[in-house]
Amino acid sequence: MTAMIKGARARKQFNTKFNQIKRPDPDARRTVGFGAPPDITRIKAAASAKEGLGSICDMIKDSMNCPIWNMPIVEQTRGTLLGPASDQTVSQFFGAEIRPFDWTNSTTGFDYVETTMAQSGELQTHTLAMAVGWHIEIEQQMWDADGNAVTIPDTGTAEPPSPDYFTKNDIVNGALDVLPVFNFSGLTGTVNATMTPAFLEWGWWAAQAAWFMVRGYDLQWKIGQHTNIMDEVLRHTAYMPPNAQEGSASSSEVDIARAVRRVNDRYEALGAGQFFAKVNRIRIGSVGTGAANYGIFRPSRDHQRVGVTYGGGDLRSMLKGNSEFRQLTIPYVIKAGIPIGLLARVNDLTQAELMQEYLSITQGQGQGSSIPPTEVDANNLSSTGFYDGTGTGNVALERTFDGLNVPQQAPYDTAIFKGGEMKITLAIKGFEVTDDWYTMCQNNPDLRDAIMGECGCAWAKSAA
pLDDT of residue 18: 45
216-220, 264-268, 414-418, 428-432: the lowest-pLDDT one: 428-432
List Cβ neighbours of 54 (8 Å cut-off, separation of 6 or more): 35, 36, 37, 38, 39
pLDDT of residue 223: 73
Say how far apart CA 140 and CA 295 lie, in whole Å: 39
Residue 268 CA: distances (Å) to CA of 33, 84, 137:
54, 12, 25
pLDDT digits (tens, 9 = 90+) for 174-217: 899 998 888 888 777 666 789 999 999 999 999 999 999 999 99
pLDDT of residue 267: 96
Which of 443, 450, 444 is closest to 57 using CA atoms?
450
Say if CB 143 and CB 307 are below 8 A apart.
yes
Q: pLDDT > 90: what percent of the chain?
A: 43
Bridge partners of 36, per DSSP, are none
pLDDT tops 80 at residue 114: yes
Q: DSSP states of 259-311 as a string?
A: HHHHHHHHHHHTT-SEEEEE--EEEEEEE-SGGG-EEEEEE--GGGEEE-EES
Q: Tell me how many degrees the CA angle 113-115-116 measures, rounded to the nearest 5.
A: 165
The stretch 397-410 carries a mean pLDDT of: 93
Q: What does residue 427 show for φ and ψ, rounded to 5 degrees? A: -140, 150
Say if CB 236 and CB 345 are below 8 A apart.
no
Average pLDDT, the chain: 82
List Cβ neighbours of 32 (8 Å cut-off, separation of 6 or more): 59, 60, 63, 128, 431, 432, 433, 434, 437
Which of 361, 461, 437 is closest to 63 using CA atoms?
437
pLDDT digits (tens, 9 = 90+) for 13-26: 545 554 554 444 44
pLDDT of residue 263: 96
List Cβ neighbours of 213 (8 Å cut-off, separation of 6 or more): 94, 98, 136, 234, 238, 344, 351, 352, 355
Say if CB 376 and CB 382 are below 8 A apart.
yes
- Could you tell me how many helices (H) and strands (E) the chain has, helices first? 11, 24
Say how far apart CA 281 and CA 163 lie, in whole Å: 4
How many Cβ atoms are within 10 Å of 42's Cβ, its own excluded? 12
Residue 195 CA: distances (Å) to CA of 151, 152, 208, 287:
7, 10, 28, 21
List Cβ neighbours of 152 (8 Å cut-off, separation of 6 or more): 268, 272, 273, 274, 275
pLDDT tops 80 at residue 145: yes
Say how far apart CA 58 and CA 378 lie, in whole Å: 67
The stretch 150-160 carries a mean pLDDT of: 88
pLDDT of residue 384: 53
pLDDT of residue 84: 95
pLDDT digits (tens, 9 = 90+) for 261-313: 999 999 999 999 999 999 999 999 999 998 889 999 999 999 999 988 877 66
The one-character DSSP state at 314 is T
The stretch 149-156 carries a mean pLDDT of: 89
| Whole-model pTM over 0.85 | no
Higher model confidence: residue 235 or residue 155?
A: 235
pLDDT of residue 106: 79
80-89, 243-252, 446-455: the lowest-pLDDT one: 243-252
Say how far apart CA 309 and CA 278 lie, in whole Å: 20
Say if CB 444 and CB 40 are below 8 A apart.
yes
Residue 319 CA: distances (Å) to CA of 7, 122, 241, 250, 324:
70, 29, 11, 22, 11
- Residue 217 DSSP SS3: strand
How many Cβ atoms are within 10 Å of 356's Cβ, its own excluded? 21
